Structures are given as C-alpha cells and as structure tokens.
Structure 1
Amino acid sequence: MAEAMVLFLRFCFQLIALPVYLLSLLGAWEPFCKKIFFPFFMEMLTAGYNKKTAEQKRELFRNLPEFANSSGELRLLEIGTGSGANFQFYPPGCQVICTDPNPNFHSSLSKSMAQNQHLQFKRVLVASAEDLSKVADSSLDVVVSTLVLCSVQSVEGVLKEVLRILKPGGAFYFLEHEAAAHSSWDYFWQQVYFPTWKLIFDGCCLTRDFRNDLERAKFSEVNLRHIRVPLHWTPIQSHIIGYAVK
C-alpha cells in the first residue's frame, strides 16, 4: 500500500514538473540549470542555511587548527565550494583551495572571497570531486564537503580521492543531508520527491546513507552524529555531521 502511494504521489509531482521534464527531453534543462538556475538557487539557499546551521558549523570547524602542519599552516581543500558558504567558519590564515565542477559559481564565489580576507585563497579548480588529479598526494591537512556528496556520481570514488590527497593524520570534515530513518514520514516523502528533485536540483539524491560509505572507507577514525536541520517543508532535514581522520 505504501509503495503504491509513493508511486502515485511521485507521478503527481512529475505532472506538476512536466515543463522541466520536457525541457530535459529537449536537452535544454541541464545547461540552463547549471548556468543559471542552480547557482542562483544555491546562493539564495546559503544565507538561510547558514543561519540554521551556524552553531553546528562553528562547533564542527572549531578544532580545524589541530590539523595544521608543523609550520602552523593549515592547508584546506573544499569540495564543491560553490559560492563559498563555509569561508566565514574557517580560522584566520587558513590556506584554501576551492574546487567545483560548475564554473558558473564564479561571480558569487569571487564576492565571497572578497568578504573573507582572513583567509589565503591559493587556487580555484574546475574539477569533479571524483577526479582531483591536479592535487598532489598527501598534500593537504583538511578536506571539507558540505551539501556536496548528495550529487556526486560515486561517493566511494570521492572518498578515495580524499584519502589520496590528505596527509597522514589529516581530516575530512562533512555536513551532508542524508536519507531519513526508513520508518519515518520524512523518508516516505524523500521517496516521493526523489526523481523530480534529482532532475531539478542538478543530480541531488535524497536517499543516500553516507555513514556506510564512511565506515567502508579506510579512515583510521570516524567521528559523526546525525542531526536535524529545520528546513521546513523540504525533504532535506536529516543530516550527518562530523569528521574522519586518515
């Protein structure tokens, strides 16, 4: 009965989003989404999301300086930097490499960089999280991912790259929305929204379980917890937050 209801409601949402599906069939939605809609949407989302997660982010990044190298330098790479939502939470002097597969965030990223002069911005790379070949092995103290792993092609592939570029003892910090408890109404609605949400929001997957991916990866230590972010009337309230040490 529940599965039938999911399929019915899913079909209803697909009808509502029919213009987007038609544009997708014509090959017009993806370029419009990547160039205009998604960068605009994420810039608008960032302000509200940071207000709702400011306390969690401050607590998450509080111990970043502990992973600085022997010279006191903290070399950090952020996966899927987008418009630079996390810059304000990084410690002064932090050396930041920005990466994103979508170059259309450039304008909002430049604005955010100018507003965060306490950081040293080293490079901006147009690269997917699964292929950071321009970054040397064991060259970074910290890698950060927030609201990114939901849309990558392979979480396993991303974590392999993270482990490759981190120095021994380096840390991977994450804050990601994830699948809700399977017995919950939240998960029911995630299943309903899934195909339409993924199409509209540039491949964002609602039902990934990152805990399993992190535990399968070869980190020496994983510190995580599950939290709920009050993004009311959205299917992305369940989150996982923490850091893992190489």
Structure 2
Amino acid sequence: MKCLMVFCRLVCSAVSLPLYLLEAVGLYAMYKRLFPLLAYNITFSYNDKMHRVKRELFRNVASFAGSDGTLRLLEIGCGSGANFSFYPDGCTVVCTDPNRHFDAYLRRSMDANKHLTYDTFIEASGEDLRSVEDESVDVVVCTLVLCSVSSVPRVLHEARRVLRAGGAFYFLEHVVSDPSSWTYFFQYVFEPLWYYLGDGCTVTRATWRDLEAAGFSELHLRHIEAPGVTLMIRPHITGYSIK
C-alpha cells in the first residue's frame, strides 16, 4: 500500500509540474487574483455545513472582553470575512490578510454585518504582524489559515505576542488524518496538486502539535470530522487557547 501511495503521489506531482513552473517564473501570482472569488463562493457552502460548529466555537468569545467591557478582536487571514456573522455585537474587528485582492469580497461581508465595528485592514502575513502592538487585542481568530502559512509556530508566536494576558486564540483548521485511513491516502497523494489549487494549502499538517507546543497557559482542543466537507479536508481541529 505504501508503495502504491508513493507512486500515485509521484504521478500527481508530475501533473502539478506546469503549476510549479508557473510559480517559479512568477506567473502563478495571477491566480492570487482569482482565488478570492473562488474562496468567497466556497465560503457559503462551508458555512452552511459548519454553522453549528462555528456557533459552538465562538459562543464564549464575548467573555474575553477587556476590563472596560469592550472586545477587540484580530483575525489572521480574514479572507472574505466568513466569520463575521458569528462575532458578538459591538465587537471591534481588526482584519489582516496577505492577499489584498480579497478587499471587494471583504467589504461585502462588512456591509452585511453591521453589528460589528471595523478597524483598519492590515495587508500582512500571519508570521509578521509587526504593525500590531504587543498585548493590544483581547481575541485572535484563525480559521482555515494555518494550513497555508509558511511557519505555523511563527504565526502562533505572533498571536501570543499581540494578545493581552488572559486573552484567547480561537482556531478551526483542517488537519492530517490517521495514517492508516483512506483519507490520509488521498491527502498524501493529491497534496501536490491541492497545494496549488488551494493557494498554498497543505493537507498533511498535524497542527494540534504546534498548538500544544505554543506556550499558551490553557488549550481547549477537539478533533472532529467536518460534516459534509470534501474528504481531503474532513478531519478538523477546533477550540481555543488562553494566554
């Protein structure tokens, strides 16, 4: 079985070679203009399937408001604003994303969620939030982002840095499946192609291990099978950590 899996991955890598060459010569950047449109449309289906999971995940966000009663939330990789409807009334949201082409779709979500106050938009990767001051937010949110960053530990380090003491980091991420499963077989085989179609998405990360090693004082984490989601990204982790 392992030999078959390796062979199939090699075939998939060969199929992905044109995309690799496009990236090597800088032409893959054109796809970053198209990806926000694809992601925006996929968001509706994903949110429908994951509505109960997201509602449960964010149900206690308001409890992390600061001593003055206000809640300042920073979202890493906000994309088109798929989480906005789950945030509590009056919350102030700071949006960050490395892809500026999400802007038009992000504004649509802002217009549809008037219960929130929106601060600045920061064009930055999760690994480098230097424009955000230390301990300046109550909550950091990161959903379906850690699969595509270059360094998960660095993103988590930045999240801890900008969080005030007692603040929370919320996460919802797809992760690698058990190596003995058929899900893992397909994740391993199709990952080279999925990486390019998903704008850098990697499907074989054991992200929970990075969270366990990130230095948070508390970690509340659950492994789930996302209902109705494509097999490649069905295994998820969800929860929050407290600084």
Question: How would you bin the TM-score normalised by the shorter chain?
Answer: over 0.9
Deviations 1:118-157 (A, max 9, x none): 0000110001101111111011100000000000111110
- Conserved 8 A contact 1:76-1:97: yes
- Conserved 8 A contact 1:20-1:200: no
State the secondary structure of the residue aligned to 1:4. Answer: helix
- Give the aligned partner of residue 8 of structure 1: 7
Match runs of 1:50-61 below 5 Å: 50-61=47-58
- Give structure 2 stretches of 5+ with no counterpart: none
**Structure 1 residues 131 and 25 mapped into 2: Cα distance closer, same or farther (>3 Å)?**
closer
Q: Is 1:135–2:132 an aligned residue pair?
A: yes
Q: Is 1:219–2:225 an aligned residue pair?
A: no
Picking from 168, 171, 176, the partner of 1:174 is 171
State the secondary structure of the residue aligned to 1:123. Answer: strand
State the secondary structure of the residue aligned to 2:232. Answer: coil
**Residue 12 of structure 1: how far off its partner (Å):** 3.5
- Conserved 8 A contact 2:223-2:237: yes
State the secondary structure of the residue aligned to 1:173. Answer: strand
**Residue 89 of structure 1: how far off its partner (Å):** 0.3
- Give the residue type in structure 1 aligned to 2:10: F
Picking from 137, 145, 149, the partner of 1:148 is 145
Deviations 1:54-84 (A, max 9, x none): 0010111000111001111000000000000
**Structure 1 residues 77 and 232 mapped into 2: Cα distance closer, same or farther (>3 Å)?**
closer
State the secondary structure of the residue aligned to 2:121. Answer: strand
- Give the aligned partner of residue 94 of structure 1: 91
**Residue 9 of structure 1: how far off its partner (Å):** 1.8
State the secondary structure of the residue aligned to 1:235. Answer: helix
**Structure 1 residues 231 and 32 mapped into 2: Cα distance closer, same or farther (>3 Å)?**
farther
Picking from 106, 112, 121, the partner of 2:118 is 121
State the secondary structure of the residue aligned to 1:176. Answer: strand
**Structure 1 residues 232 and 144 mapped into 2: Cα distance closer, same or farther (>3 Å)?**
closer
RMSD: 1.4
Please give the alpha-carbon distance, in whole angstroms, between the structure 2 residues aligned to 1:236 and 1:133: 31
- Conserved 8 A contact 2:95-2:121: yes
**Residue 192 of structure 1: how far off its partner (Å):** 0.2
- Give the aligned partner of residue 32 of structure 1: 30
- Give the residue type in structure 1 aligned to 2:31: C
- Give the aligned partner of residue 49 of structure 1: 46
Where in structure 1 do 4 or more consecutive aligned residues deviate above 6 Å? none
Count how many residue pairs are aligned between Structure 1 and Structure 2: 243
Please give the alpha-carbon distance, in whole angstroms, between the structure 2 residues aligned to 1:157 and 1:220: 17
**Residue 24 of structure 1: how far off its partner (Å):** 3.5
- Give the residue type in structure 1 aligned to 2:11: C
- Conserved 8 A contact 2:16-2:192: no
**Residue 18 of structure 1: how far off its partner (Å):** 5.4
- Give me the TM-score of the superposition, normalised by structure 1: 0.94
State the secondary structure of the residue aligned to 2:82. Answer: coil
- Give the residue type in structure 1 aligned to 2:12: F
**Residue 46 of structure 1: how far off its partner (Å):** 0.3
Picking from 95, 99, 103, the partner of 2:100 is 103
- Give the residue type in structure 1 aligned to 2:130: S
- Give structure 1 stretches of 5+ with no counterpart: none
Please give the alpha-carbon distance, in whole angstroms, between the structure 2 residues aligned to 1:132 and 1:178: 24
State the secondary structure of the residue aligned to 2:146. Answer: coil
